[in-house]
Amino acid sequence: MLVDKPSGLLSVPGKSPEHADCLERRMRDLFPEIRLVHRLDHPTSGLMIFARNAQAQRHLGLQFEKRQLKKSYIARVSGRVEGHSGHINLPLICDWPNRPLQMVCFDNGKSAQTDWEVLERKAHATRLCLYPKTGRSHQLRVHCLAIGHPILGDSFYGGERNQAAAERLQLHAATLEFRHPNGGVWSRHSSPCPF
């Protein structure tokens, strides 16, 4: 089951009672058998996939683990990105004193790779299509920051000016392409970008 998660809604419940409301819980109220397959950050909007049974969850989970599933995100980043496309290969690790923040670490970080292409340039911002090749926590946010173009509206990595430049994180999970758990046929789905 594919769901279009709004920005500002948790994917799964947080530890404190005020963070109990989340997409997983809302889905489980409607479909008690639903099973979580992956997550999106709280401020990120876009497509999430849920499984309807344990077999489908295993099948989809393996596609994520083996990097067989294809994803794309739309992001509006600060500044004018030079070039038409590129590849970011910067390993990431949790910044423990500042968790949940992540950071680039060549010594102990796990492989993190993102392809990107420019969709549109404005005076002070660029719209990118991001193609994560790995699925590390905050990967797209940290990779954009690392190349000097933080995502607009990012309260973690954008700094005050970039955070104030948009009312929400300008990151949207736009497409998901995967093999359907029942039969293995490729299935592609998209969600229109709200910004």
Judge contact between 149 and 79, C-beta under 8 A: yes
Report pLDDT digits (tens) over 64-91: 999 999 999 999 999 999 999 999 999 9
Domains of the chain from N-terminus onward: 2-187 (3.30.2350.10)
Nearest to 7 by CA among 158, 176, 169, 156: 169
Report pLDDT digits (tens) over 37-61: 999 999 999 999 999 999 999 999 9
Query: In the chain, where do the E strands start and end?
Result: 2-5, 35-36, 45-51, 70-78, 85-89, 92-94, 102-104, 113-121, 125-132, 171-179, 186-190
21 is catalytic: no
Q: Which of 29, 41, 95, 107 is catalytic?
A: 41
Q: What is the pLDDT of residue 10?
A: 97
